[in-house]
Amino acid sequence: MPKVVLGRPLSKVVIIGLGLIGSSFARGLKKWGLCEEIVGCARSSSTLEKGLDLGVIDTAEKDLSLAVQGADLVFLSMPIGATEKILSTIAPYLGENTIVTDAGSVKGCVVEAAKRVFGEVPENFIPGHPIAGSEKSGVDAGTSGLFLHHKVILTPVSGHSPEAALTVTALWEAMGANVILMDPGTHDKILAATSHLPHLLAYSLVDTMAKDDESLDIFRYAAGGFRDFTRIAASDPTMWHDIFLANRAATLEALDEFTEDLALLRKAVDTGNSQDMLGVFTRAQAAREHFSTILSQRAYLEKMSESMNEKQIEFILQPGSKVSGKLRVTGDKSISHRSIILGSIAEGETDIEGFLEGEDALATLQAFRDLGVVIEGPHQGRVKVYGVGLHGLKAPPGDLYLGNSGTSMRLLAGLLAAQDFSVTLTGDKSLTKRPMGRVATPLRLMGAQIDTGQDGSPPLAIKGNPSLSGIEYPMPMASAQVKSCLLLAGLYADSTTVIEPAPTRDHTERMLRGFGVSVDQRGDTVTLQGGQTLKACSIDIPADISSAAFFIVAGTIAKDSEILLEHVGVNPTRTGVIDILRLMGANISLLNERQVGGEPVADLLVKSADLKGIDIPEALVPLAIDEFPVIFVAAACAQGPTCLRGAEELRVKESDRIQVMADGLVSLGVDAQATPDGILINGKGDGQANVFTEGTVESHGDHRIAMSFSVASLRSSGEIRVLNCANVATSFPSFVSEAQKVGIQIIAKDVQ
Ligand code: NAP
């Protein structure tokens, strides 16, 4: 018995055109048991005989009028040029409930053909197009899995029967395809660019080369590129002749656009204009990577943490003893963002090393490509930005999509408010909920025109205003992003002053100075005069002290250990972790201190030390806010109590870090109590090797908690398992391998 498709089993399906697509459809129907009888129709008897021999069809019928009588569904899979003639032939014999659908690669012409034959498109006619296939043709070429995980576009027109559309959808889905609906015009425009133009170019290229005197040599020595690019020129000529005629207007439009761009590229090659050439190649390479993501059926710029979360990673740690060696941990995220932004509006070429290839910084990089900046890389942390100067950014082709990156959106809002074009900034679902009023409000005071969503949320529609006026702005909240946004807008105004209610990170000010811009800092007040030119420079992005902190504590608590952490950013707004650990007795030396792009950097030499518990000075709390989880691990290894107060903010980080750390410490045998604004830890550091017992700790998906308990294994008596560690990949993708390198006995296990 055939499967029931939407309430009724299909007894008879007629397939007209038994080539690659028609025979694959027939094979799919058979494999999934979707109908009782398949009747095949083709021009030649040999095709029909082969169809019968291969068991693809049950009955062969050359006479279409006979074939379609009593059919539940007719599937047209011959070249589209034959559609009108075939519809006219079968029209008088179709039953009232017979559904007609097709596979034609152009949809507007099929709909028009149906109108001409029937007067109007019949309600049971559901045009379709499977986005699957190959350059092969004929009844032998088909496979039952051709449509598996491929898209099928259906283009039903108004007045169609919903039941017919659902039946066709159900059939495709039963064969593993994903059905999407579209209007015929949109379908034809999209396919002109993505399928029809590439086929036209492939045919033309091979023909041009074949006419060449040296053609034999060309083909004999053809490299992979030629073969890859021209594979589709082996497709069936009649089918493609029909397609180009049927989709003439949309194909010509795509061809004209391409011809124009090709002429520009030709000129760039002719004149040796490297910047224009690299612009095209780097943009294309980045776009191709996005397309690959889409083609492999992953969401556009899918959030790594989400996909990693699905993976359910656990860290399994054996007790360790000693750590040693040297490490350069991943680059600082805040500085990575700013290196792209300032490099883009500088004069000249900025070379960046140590760029953090995380999603957020990559969103900023892509945004500047869209704004017309040529950016090479990243390749293993190296990026080259061809600056366009303060006034060289260009309107992007569409909205700027910034993924999950709040930093990108807030900083770009300031810069783009001052351009002579309009732009809309969008992001993923979670970014869309983040408050942007805090930047929109002061920017409006400078004369910016910004529309936000409800309650000041994204998208931000920015109408550029090249004549912003400077303001003096006392920030209502201590926010480095708001300050940076206003300073970037201030580059285009007369004089801009920002007053901080409490110290915030000053990476933007420092990097502006590194690019030759004078920024005046007096106490809590930062002032910038607009109109200054940024001069390109080289930036070796410091390693992130927040990532280095795990290894600083590892080197401190492990016995007989010494570890060198290279090129760590030691910006005074970030070094609270060093100050606190030193107060506890840690042995941390700053070697080779230097300035890189305005940022202080040093190599940190960390040696084992016996720690003592302390009352952590509240003034240091904001300077070490991200590093407390690992400081708590150090405190457990110290002699006597350590007390933290004034850190309520820790309760609203990626997890309630106070409670989660207290729970984890207790489950590993440490005396720890959470307090409303901090924690009290009674350190066990009585010279014993083992401070922590074996046990299992829940990280609640908080990357810093997961890495902190990994470090605890250096002083544990047995195996520690840390659950829910997938998010580590977002901030510190190489954590596990770096930890293994210095001697932490860690393995990451996918437990799904
Ligand atoms: P194909 O392998 O060349 O097969 C075409 C079939 O149609 C053959 O069986 C042929 O019969 C039959 N045929 C040709 N003219 C006919 C006519 N006037 N009346 C009855 N039958 C006729 O073609 P295909 O690749 O399967 O493509 C079929 C349709 O699918 C086309 O409309 C195409 O646009 C669309 N499509 C193709 C692809 C792809 O990648 N190939 C992808 C998506 C959609 P004989 O064997 O007797 O010559």
Q: How many helices (H) and strands (E) does the chain have?
A: 27, 33
Q: How far is the CA of 47 from the centre of ligand 1 (A)?
A: 11
- What band does 309 get if pLDDT is binned at 50, 70 and 90? very low
Pocket probe for ligand 1: among 21, 47, 48, the residue whose CB has the most ligand atoms within 8 Å is 21
**56 and 26 Cβ atoms separated by less than 8 Å:** yes
Least confident range of 40-54, 66-80, 91-105, 279-293: 279-293
CATH number corresponding to 10-182: 3.40.50.720
> Which of 54, 77, 101, 137 maximizes ligand 1 atoms within 8 Å of its Cβ, making it the mutation to test the pocket?
77
| pLDDT tens per residue, range 335-360 | 999 999 999 999 999 999 999 988 78
Which protein residue has the closest C-alpha to ligand 1 atom 9? Answer: 18
**Looking at ligand 1, which residue's alpha carbon is closest to its atom 42?**
133
Ligand 1 binding pocket, CB closer than 6 Å: 16-22, 41-44, 47, 77-80, 82, 86, 103-105, 129-130, 133-134, 137-138, 236, 239, 243
| pLDDT computed for residue 379 by the predictor | 87
**Contact, 702 vs 654, CB < 8 A?**
yes
Residues forming beta bridges with residue 375, ordered by sequence position: 385
Catalytic residue set:
626
As a whole number of angstroms, the distance between CA 97 and CA 164 comes to 9
For atom 35 of ligand 1, the residue with the nearest CA is: 104
The CATH architecture annotation of domain 334-540 reads: Alpha-beta prism (3.65)
Give me 226's structure tokens. 């030629």
Q: Are 700 and 658 in contact (CB under 8 A)?
A: no
Q: In angstroms, what is the span from residue 23 Cα to ligand 1's centroid?
A: 10
Query: How far is Cα of residue 507 from the mean position of the Cα atoms in its chain?
Result: 25
**CA 141/CA 135 separation, integer angstroms:** 10
Q: Per-residue confidence at 290, pLDDT binned at 50, 70, 90?
A: low
- Report helix angle 406-416 to 480-490, nearest 10: 20
To which residue do tokens 């979707």 refer? 34
10 Å Cβ neighbour count for 231?
12
Atom of ligand 1 nearest to the CA of 44: 47
Ligand 1 center to 182 CA (angstroms): 23
Q: 189-272: which CATH topology?
A: 6-phosphogluconate dehydrogenase C-terminal fold (1.10.3660)
Q: Are 509 and 488 in contact (CB under 8 A)?
A: no
DSSP per-residue codes, 33-63: T-EEEEEEE-SSHHHHHHHHHTTS-SEE-S-
Rounded distance between C-alpha atoms, residue 76 and residue 340, angstroms: 53
| Tens-digit pLDDT profile for residues 478-527 | 889 999 999 999 999 999 999 999 888 899 999 999 999 999 999 999 99
Q: Counting atoms of ligand 1 from 1, which one is nearest the CA of 20?
A: 26
Structure tokens at 35: 């109908």
* Best mutation site among 52, 154, 239 for ligand 1 pocket (most ligand atoms within 8 Å of CB): 239
Instruction: Kindly give the distance from the C-alpha atom of residue 22 to the centroid of ligand 1, in angstroms, as a whole number.
Output: 7
Q: pLDDT digit string (tens) for 354-394?
A: 999 887 898 899 999 999 999 998 888 999 999 999 999 99
CA 256 to ligand 1 center in whole angstroms? 29
Which ligand 1 atom lies nearest to the CA of residue 131? Answer: 43
DSSP 663-698: HHHHHTT-EEEEETTEEEEEEE-SS-S--B-SEEEE
Pocket test for ligand 1, best of 78, 86, 191, 240 (most atoms within 8 A of CB): 78
Q: Do domains 10-182 and 315-323+543-750 have the same CATH topology?
A: no
d(CA 703, CA 681) in angstroms, rounded, equals 21
What are the residue ranges spanned by the domains of the chain?
10-182, 189-272, 315-323+543-750, 334-540
* Atom of ligand 1 minimally distant from the CA of 242: 34
What pTM did the predictor assign?
0.70
| Residue whose CA is at the smallest distance from ligand 1 atom 19 | 43
Q: Tell me the per-residue pLDDT of 155-211, one tens digit each, with 9 for 90 and over.
A: 999 999 999 999 999 999 999 999 999 999 999 999 999 999 999 999 999 998 888
User: What mean pLDDT is reported for the chain?
Assistant: 92
CA of 98 to the centre of ligand 1 (A): 22
Q: Which strand (E) or helix (H) includes residue 576? A: helix 576-583
CA 130 to centroid of ligand 1, rounded, Å = 13
Number of Cβ atoms within 10 Å of the Cβ of 41: 29
Please report which confidence band the pLDDT of residue 307 belongs to, taking 50, 70 and 90 as the band edges: very low
> In this predicted structure, what is the pLDDT of residue 6?
64
504 Cβ contact partners less than 8 Å away, ≥ 6 residues apart? 478, 479, 480, 483, 573
CATH superfamily, with its number, for domain 315-323+543-750: Enolpyruvate transferase domain (3.65.10.10)
CA-132 nearest atom, ligand 1: 42
9 CA distance to ligand 1 centroid (A)?
27
Ligand 1 atom closest to Cα of 23? 26
